[in-house]
Amino acid sequence: MSPVLDTAFIPPRDREEVVRNAVWDSVVAVDIDHRPAAEDLSVRIGLGTVGPLRICSARATAVTIRRTERLAREDEEPAIFLGLQVTGTSLVAQNGRECVLGPGEFAVYESIAPYTLLFEEGVDHHFLRFPRAALALPDRLLRDTGSVTLGPGNPTARLAFSYFSRLAADDALHQGVHADAVVEPSVELLRAVLTTQHGNSDLARGPLESTLGLRITQYIRAHLADPDLSAARIAAAHDISVRHLYAVLSGLGISLGDWIRTHRLAECRRELSGPSGRLRTIAAIRRRWGFVNATHFSKVFKQAYGLSPRAWRDQNHSLRDSGDSGILGDRDRTFERYHLG
């Protein structure tokens, strides 16, 4: 997430106003009650957009955020907010219901009704704003699923947390064709979470089917290192037949075996050029990512990247040893000093 605001570089007397204006202009109009005194107040915010979706990633000292009845009435574009808890805990209250969020959990709430967000331990949170009309869900369903803790108990919500956390953090997904490509899957995935949580099988069927390909590829990515990853296991994890699995992937232009091999090779390349490339043997790295035969691994790696695994590792570590890393490291440390990490 691109850094936008860091109160460390704002005079204490101006911090509350600057934060308020940034949130009002980019996210939503709310009252913000900071717990610490101005000189101890710390807020770091990154903002992004993905088509019609708005994203705010925030780390801050303790705060209470209130969307008052007056502000809710003035909303020009009704929205649904998705709040993802990264670390610590928070509380969401709306329409007479409260829920507590822990790491890996999230909740939704609406802009057209008053709500309160309580961050007693400080803020480490991703906020995503969706146009309410884009979800095309009944009012009753949105009310019933609002201010409800969503997370590990709902497999679709579990996937959604990983997906939306990545979407919030990865600037490359906020630009050009990548942003265009993820808008519809993002909307449909949130629809799938809310409809399955509500238990409405008719409404859930459409978004679940439309996001099936996304859920399958996310599952494969998460289990790339598993030696027993197979078509049968992937299909069983999604309650579909192997034949249906291949049909879904074919519709996406994906050959399962090639896709898995390509992404496993990419992980091997990443490890070989990273710090672990020095500490672990090539054999250990290839076995970790499912390549049993050393000759076959060397062959497909060279076909993919033009170098053998050993040559790739040696080339990257010789560049790092030449002193380039010192320059890059200084630049990165300077960036971190003035911006969000």
Q: Can you give 41-76 as a three-state secondary structure string? A: CCEEEEEEEECCEEEEEEEECCEEEEECHHHHHCCC
Q: What is the mean pLDDT of the chain?
A: 85
Beta carbons of 291 and 264 less than 8 angstroms apart: yes
- Strands 115-119 and 90-94: what pairing? antiparallel
Tokens standing for residue 208: 């679940």
Residue 100: pLDDT band (50, 70, 90) is: very high
pLDDT of res. 200? 61
pLDDT (mean) for 325-333: 40
**Number of other CB atoms surrounding residue 170 within 10 Å:** 13
Dist CA 84 CA 57 (whole Å): 9
Tokens standing for residue 98: 């409260």
- Residue 206 above 80 pLDDT? no
Question: Which range scores top for mean pLDDT: 69-78, 95-104, 133-142, 230-239?
Answer: 95-104
Tokens standing for residue 230: 């197979």
- Residue 202 above 60 pLDDT? no
Element containing residue 126 per DSSP (H, E): strand 123-131
pLDDT of res. 205? 57
229 vs 136 pLDDT, higher one: 229
Question: Which range scores top for mean pLDDT: 119-128, 226-235, 323-332?
Answer: 119-128
- Residue 336 above 60 pLDDT? no
Average the pLDDT over each of 32-46, 152-166, 322-336 and give the range with the smallest value: 322-336
Beta bridge partners of 5: 45
pLDDT (mean) for 243-247: 91
pLDDT (mean) for 286-291: 90
Q: What is the pTM of this model?
A: 0.62
- Residue 27 above 60 pLDDT? yes
Q: Is 247 helix (H, G, I), strand (E, B) or coil?
A: helix
Dist CA 155 CA 167 (whole Å): 18
pLDDT (mean) for 245-262: 88
Residue 274 phi/psi, 5-degree rounding, is -95, -175
Annotate 319-332 with b (16+ C-beta within 10 A) or e (fewer). ebeeeeeeeeeeee
pLDDT (mean) for 319-331: 46
252 vs 5 pLDDT, higher one: 5
Q: Is 100 helix (H, G, I), strand (E, B) or coil?
A: strand
Classify residue 47 as exposed, middle or buried by CB count within 10 Å of its CB (0-12, 13-18, 19+): buried
Selection from 8, 26, 121 nearest residue 64 by Cα: 121
Report pLDDT digits (tens) over 43-68: 999 998 998 999 999 999 999 999 99
The percent of residues above 70 in pLDDT, for the chain, comes to 88
Q: How big is the CA angle at 258 (ends 257 and 260), to the nearest 5 degrees?
A: 65
pLDDT of res. 182? 87
Selection from 110, 231, 87 nearest residue 165 by Cα: 87
pLDDT of res. 92? 97
- Strands 63-67 and 123-131: what pairing? unpaired
235 DSSP assignment: H
- Strands 31-34 and 63-67: what pairing? antiparallel
Report pLDDT digits (tens) over 124-172: 999 999 988 888 788 888 888 999 999 888 888 988 999 999 999 888 8
Selection from 305, 301, 314, 304 nearest residue 273 by Cα: 314
The percent of residues above 90 in pLDDT, for the chain, comes to 46
Tokens standing for residue 285: 């790295």
The number of angstroms, rounded, from the C-alpha of 286 to the middle of its chain's C-alpha atoms is 28
